[in-house]
Every structure is written in structure tokens, then in C-alpha cells.
Amino acid sequence: MFFDTHAHLIDEAYDNDREQLIRSLKDEGVTLLLSAACSARESRASVALAGQYDFIYSSVGVHPHDSASMQEGDLREIASLAGDKKAVAIGEIGLDYHYDFSPRDVQKARFEEQMALARELHLPVVIHDREAHEDTLEIIRRIRVERGVFHCYSGSLEMAKELVRLGYCLSFTGAITFKNARRAHEVIRWLPQDRIMIETDSPYLTPEPFRGKRNDPSKVRLVAEKIAEIRESTLQEVAALTMKNGLEFFNIRGPING
């Protein structure tokens, strides 16, 4: 039983087979899934999708790439959507200085607004941080939330230790199967067992040996297998551990239908 804690099910890459794919996931061992949103439009669609399936939950929020296109009223709509029973986090939010699709001052302002909203609503945050470590750390230190996760963690071991000290979890994708993932392996070996989660970030970051093809949540098993190898554990132990951590992080209660 696997919990893919971050997949972009609303992405157009799934437009031709979304329902078929979702219905196949339980047979692949994926018994919980978080549909991650990147805009107000995606937040609406993601919450609606989650409402159709017992094992899918949703985040709501605006990605740094979309910060400059936020409209008046989007933050209020996200706050309203966050009241849905299947909306369990604010995200993905944060900073991206690799592409700079939105001006950095705008990214920071939108990030701060959504961090404050999460704190007000007592919801966890799903953080996107790409080549913006210093500014991201400054904001999360200043605007403290009850729970947070750095999705697709790409930082150093030193930063990981600081994030754990601040109460954050780290989540890992198929990127840890790539040949250049030595730094992530170092973090995974050190990370306390109650701070680790797994995800696909699908349709992106397809793990080896399928790199170059469309990713999907069924491949979260490959992420768990790699973590088991790195931590000298078993697949079953990693699956159980990351399921427990995901349930507690997103405050998901009640029976999980496998």
C-alpha cells in the first residue's frame, strides 16, 4: 500500500486516459493519492476530482510560476476551496528562481500570503523550492506553520537538518533514481523516519528505468524501492512508514479502502 503524496492529476498529460489511469491505481498498490494544484483553476478542478474518488485528496494553492497571473479574488477562492473535506493542504506554493516565470518579488509576496493563509486555517503547506533556498528559508522561519513538507527535495544535508529542526518533512520523487542523485541519497540516509514521504510529481520526473516516458502514480513504488535500498530497509517497511507519515501529515482519518 503506497501513498503518492504529490501527483498532478489535473495535468493535460492525462486528458486522454485520466479516469482509466485512476481506476487502475489500487491494483498497482496505490491506495492514497494527493492531487497537487498549481493555480486557482487547478485547485477547483483538483478538489472536484478528489470528490469523485474515495482515495484521492487535494491541495489548493498557486505555484510560483503562476504568481504573476493571480487575479483579484484568487486567494479568497483558495481559502473557500480549502474548506472542502477533501482539501487537506495549501500547495504547491513557494519560490522558483530557475525559470523565473514570475518576478521574484511577486513570487515572494504570493508565497507569504499563502503561508499566512495556511497558518490561519491550520493546514499544512506543500513547498516548491528551486534554486531559492535562502529566500524560502527566510519566509518559512518568519511565517511559521504547524506542518510543512518540501516536495521533491533538492537541497543539501545541512538545509535538511535545518528544515527538520523547523518541523518540516521532506518528500522524494523518481529523481532519486537518477545517476546524479548522490546528495539526495545522503539526505535520505540521515533523515529521521518520521519526516520522510514519497511522491511521483507525475507526469514529471519519471524514475529509472522509465525515464523519458510519461510518469504516473503507479511508479511511486520505484521511489519506495530506491529509498529502501538507500536506507537498507525493506520495501514493506518503507511503504508502511511513508503511509503513516502521509496520513499524519495531511490529518487523514478513518479507514483507507485498499
Query: How big is the chain by its Cα radius of gyration, in Å?
Result: 17
Neighbours of 95 (CB within 10 A): 25
**C-alpha angle with apex 77: 8 to 18, nearest 5 degrees?**
25
Count of CA atoms in the C-beta half-sphere (13 A) of 162 = 12
- Tell me if 201 sits within 8 A of 6, measured CB to CB: yes
Question: Can you give the pLDDT at residue 255?
Answer: 44
Instruction: For 15-58, give the DSSP string.
Output: TTTHHHHHHHTGGGTEEEEEE---SHHHHHHHHHHHTT-TTEEE
| CA nearest neighbour of 251 among 75, 1, 34 | 34
Question: Can you give the pLDDT at residue 127?
Answer: 98
Question: Can you give the pLDDT at residue 257?
Answer: 45
Pairing status of strand 56-60 against strand 87-96: parallel
Question: Can you give the pLDDT at residue 153?
Answer: 96
Question: Can you give the pLDDT at residue 254?
Answer: 55
- Parts of the chain with a pLDDT under 70: 254-258
Question: CA dihedral defined by 239, 242, 248, 254, rounded to 10 degrees?
Answer: -20
Look up cell 477562492; give the residue.
Answer: 77
Tell me the residue type at 144: R
Q: Residue 3 phi/psi, 5° resolution?
A: -115, 105
Q: Whole-angstrom Cα distance, residue 252 to residue 13? A: 28
Q: Whole-angstrom Cα distance, residue 229 to residue 69? A: 42
Question: Can you give the pLDDT at residue 253?
Answer: 84
- Tell me if 36 sits within 8 A of 6, measured CB to CB: yes
In 60-128, which ranges are continuous DSSP H helix?
A: 74-81, 104-121
- Tell me if 49 sits within 8 A of 35, measured CB to CB: yes
Question: Can you give the pLDDT at residue 258?
Answer: 40
- What pLDDT, in 10s, does the model give residues 119-168? 999 999 999 999 999 999 999 999 999 999 999 998 999 999 999 999 99
